[in-house]
Amino acid sequence: MKDTTTSFQPSPARPAPTRQVAAISWLRSNLFGSWFDTIVTLFITALLLSFVPNLIQWLFLSATYAGDDEVCRQNGGACWPFIVEKFQVLMIGVYPQDLSWRPGLAGLALLVLAGLTYTDRIRGVTLIAAWAILPIFALMMIGGAFGMQEVDQSVWGGLMLSIMLALVGVIVSIPLGILLALGRHYGSPAIKVLCVTFIELLRGVPLITILFMASVMMPLFLPPELVINNLLRIQIGMILFSSAYMAEVVRGGLQAIPKGQSEASLSLGVSSLYTVTFVIVPQALRHVLPPLIGRCIALFKDTSLVIIVGLLDFLGMIKGAALDTDWLGFQAEAYVFAAFVYWLICYSLSLYGRQLEQRGPNAHT
Amino acid sequence: MTPKLESSIAEGETIIEMQDVNKWYGDFHVLKDIDLTVAKGERIVICGPSGSGKSTLIRCINHLEEHQDGKITVNGTLLDKNMKNITSIRREVGMVFQQFNLFPHMTILDNLCFAPVWARNMPRAEAEETAIRYLTRVGIAEQKDKYPGQLSGGQQQRVAIARSLCMNPSIMLFDEPTSALDPEMIKEVLDVMIELAETGMTMLCVTHEMSFARSVADRVIFMDEGEIVEENAPAAFFDNPKVDRTQKFLSQILPH
Ligand SMILES: Nc1ncnc2c1ncn2[C@@H]1O[C@H](COP(=O)(O)OP(=O)(O)O)[C@@H](O)[C@H]1O
Ligand SMILES: [Mg+2]
């Protein structure tokens, strides 16, 4: 049979733009778009060239990866065996070595839960419950419970202590901050004054002052039978400080909720308590997730201040390691490592915040 | 035009009674000596110029606004400062808002189950069953797993009506339910309201949909400056208004 229709013949596709052309046009539009851009680009390039090669040389190329301090001194670059040698003390301080599996297990639990949270495997009530239980589990593992050998808090230290302080601080100060914000936003005049006074008092004082007061002054005023250990006092100080900031963040979220939301819930006969719990607070928190994560990052960095009141947190251990007479002269490595660890943790938090930001509105509108 | 609905007023049974109700916002006298008796099954349309106190009036009935003077009795319960009374009245009185006010962080199904579960202690499975029944009735059961932001205005308002009905109320208040809607969506919401009226629900509607008022209402109330100026059966009200202010208002809103 004869084909009567002329079939459609597509003309050959144009060649894809080559990568080279794309790269050049990208450079042109982004880095050399105007004479001002060009100057900035050249200036920054010169600046980078002035130290980045040396930095890489020191960090990696002439660095020592195995050996002792003698080898390090000969090579002249960064001395990574020093960090390896000190790794345990940086992580858990002078915690008994034979029991180090306990904080290790707690750390593993933290990593697993963080992974589950980041990949959105657990949500809602389960998520909140898991994060509420985690610090209790960690405290029991580190301190000793269920007939495990007790480890006194005076030997808790290192990164373990920093994370513990930040984790407990965040997990307790967020609900506390929510309560303060609710009190300030919805409370009776008396409650309002109370909340505002607390928030403004704590926000008006530097954290160091609060830590000093918690560590030095609180024992002077507390009755002797109410003696609580230094670590707990400092933790309480951090929680109170952080909750004041959390409260202000949450209040911003509360203000963004239209009045119609609570009216709709109340008009259905739902109590004010349930209205606040299930209608107002979840929406308010969703609005302020990015600044809330920001406060968590800030609190984690602030834990490094506890060195001033005699706790040997991660930075304290770094400082101690840098003063070790066997490894004199390798301070820089210690601080580079410290900066890297702080950055890694804070950046992960910030990545999670960004992911939440993208997830939130898309999933619900 | 839709044919006039049969009136379903049960003889003599009063469900809402407002006596000499007064309310002020600061110095501003927003409700002046309001007297209103609503019989069970009665359908009332309230109209009047913007700012005349229509919303305030119906919001006093479920105590979203507090009146300062006078007596309001709903379903035999006196509305006072007693929170228990207020809550029990709110469970009996559904309200539909101009802005829908669905909970944006909950799915449609969760929006509907929320109040039965947390205000009536209904088991979740039973609440879902009720929810699906009402969603089917307003014609959007297939959207139950979506979030409010994914629905059109008309659909959202129908969900809002279904959400109120899930509490099995004996009175429904509507505050300009179609004013925030695009014109093509007004009818789908009015149809749901008409169907609701057919079931004998007591309804108070603040609305300027005059065709709805004519076909559904047993009584039309005209408010101005915080007062009930005129009330009458719809036919008499529209065709033969007695008061000047009503005539003027009607001439502004009715097509000529
Ligand atoms: N919370 C409030 N505070 C002060 N004035 C208000 C408040 N709510 C409403 N009003 C005033 O009360 C009057 C009546 O309002 P409303 O009942 O909403 O009128 P309508 O619904 O008839 O348009 C308006 O003049 C409005 O400005
Ligand atoms: Mg109004």
Contacts of A278 in chain B (CB under 8 A): 114, 118
Q: What is the DSSP letter of B94?
A: E
Q: How far is B169 from chain A, CA to nearest CA, in Å?
A: 9
What is the reported pLDDT for B45? Answer: 97
Three-state helix/strand/coil letters over chain A:
CCCCCCCCCCCCCCCCCCHHHHHHHHHHHHCCCCHHHHHHHHHHHHHHHHHHHHHHHHHHHCCECCCCHHHHHHHCCCEHHHHHHHHHHHHHCCCCHHHCHHHHHHHHHHHHHHHHHHCCCCCHHHHHHHHHHHHHHHHHHHHCCCCCCCCCHHHCCHHHHHHHHHHHHHHHHHHHHHHHHHHHHHCCHHHHHHHHHHHHHHHCCCHHHHHHHHHHHHHHHCCHHHCCCHHHHHHHHHHHHHHHHHHHHHHHHHHCCCHHHHHHHHHCCCCHHHHHHHHHHHHHHHHCHHHHHHHHHHHHHHHHHHHHHCCCEHHHHHHHHHCCHHHCCCHHHHHHHHHHHHHHHHHHHHHHHHHHHHHHHHHHC
Taking the centre of ligand 2 as the mean of its atom positions, its distance from the CA of residue A86, in whole angstroms, is 71
Residues of chain B in contact with residue A283, where contact means CB-CB under 8 angstroms, are 103-105
Residues of A in contact with B105 (CB under 8 A): 282-283, 286, 364
Number of neighbouring beta carbons within 10 Å of residue A310: 13
Ligand 1 proximal residues by C-beta, below 6 Å: B 25, 28, 30, 48, 50-56
Give the span between the Cα atoms of B31 and A122, in whole angstroms.
51
Distance, C-alpha A319 to centroid of its chain: 21
The Cα A117–Cα B216 span in angstroms is 53
B66, B77, B95, B103: best to mutate for the A interface, most A CBs within 10 A: B103
A266 and B93 within 8 Å at the Cβ level: the answer is no
d(CA B154, CA B96): 13
CB pairs under 8 A between A and B: 73
pTM of the predicted model as reported, rounded to 2 decimal places:
0.86
The per-residue pLDDT of chain A, averaged, comes to: 89
Ligand 2 centre to CA of B46 (Å) is 11
The bound ligand whose nearest atom lies closest to the alpha carbon of B54 is 1
Amino acid letter at B4?
K
For ligand 1, atom 13, which residue shows the shortest CA distance?
B51
What is the spatial distance between Cα A244 and Cα A235, in angstroms, rounded to a whole number? 14
Over residues B60-64, mean pLDDT:
95
- CA atoms of A111 and A122, how far apart (whole Å): 14
DSSP collapsed to 3 states, B132-180: HHHHHHCCCHHHCCCCHHHCCHHHHHHHHHHHHHCCCCCEEEEECCCCC
Q: What one-character DSSP code corresponds to residue B53?
A: S
With an 8 Å Cβ cutoff, are B93 and A267 in contact?
A: yes
Q: What separation in Å is there between the alpha carbon of B22 and the centre of ligand 1? A: 14
Structure tokens given for B81: 């400062």
Tokens at A292, concatenated: 């809330």
- Ligand 1 atom at shortest distance from the alpha carbon of B57: 17
SS3 state of residue B232: strand
Return the SS3 of B73: strand
Confidence of residue A365 (pLDDT cuts 50, 70, 90): very low
Q: Would you state the pLDDT for residue A292?
A: 93
Do residues B147 and B198 make contact, with C-beta atoms less than 8 angstroms apart? no
Q: Which residues of A touch B87 (CB under 8 A)?
A: 269, 271
Does the CB of B105 have a partner CB in chain A at under 8 Å?
yes
Contact yes or no for A283 and B149 at CB 8 A = no
The pLDDT value given to residue A345 = 95
Q: For residue A189, what pLDDT band results from cuts at 50, 70 and 90?
A: very high
Contacts with A324 (C-beta within 8 Å, 6 or more apart), sequence order: A86
Over residues A42-49, the mean pLDDT reads 93
* pLDDT per residue as tens digits for the range A138-170: 999 999 888 888 888 888 999 999 999 999 999
**Position in ligand 1 atom list of the atom nearest CA B223:** 22
- Which residue owns the Cα nearest ligand 1 atom 4? B25
The pLDDT value recorded for residue A32 is 84
What pLDDT does A362 receive?
43
Q: In this complex, is the C-beta atom of B161 within 8 Å of any C-beta atom belonging to chain A?
A: no
B176 HSE (CA, 13 A, CB side): 16
CB-nearest to B119 from A270, A283, A365 is A270
Ligand 1 atom nearest to CA at B49: 22
| Cβ–Cβ below 8 Å for B101 and A283 | no
pLDDT at A361: 45
- Residues 68 through 87 of chain B touching chain A, CB cutoff 8 Å: 87
pLDDT value for A364: 43
Residue of the CA atom closest to atom 3 of ligand 1: B25
* Confidence at B256, pLDDT banded by 50, 70, 90: low
pLDDT interval class at A17 (50, 70, 90)? low
Reported as a pLDDT band with limits 50, 70 and 90, residue A117 is very high
The token pair that represents B245 in the structure block: 């202010």
C-alpha A356 chain-centroid distance: 15
Q: What is the pLDDT of residues A228-282, one digit of tens each?
A: 788 999 999 999 999 999 999 999 999 999 999 999 999 999 999 999 999 999 9
Confidence (pLDDT) at A344: 95
Q: What is the pLDDT of residues B72-93, one digit of tens each?
A: 999 999 999 899 999 999 999 9
* Mean pLDDT value of segment B15-24: 96
Ligand 2: distance of its center to the CA of B236 in Å? 25
pLDDT given for residue B11 in this prediction: 64
The residue that leads in pLDDT, A4 or A296, is: A296
What pLDDT does A357 receive? 79
Token pair recorded at residue A294: 């920001």
- What SS3 class is residue B31? strand
Give the DSSP H/E element, type plus range, for residue B45: strand B43-47
User: Does any CB of chain A come closer than 8 Å to the CB of residue B214?
Assistant: no
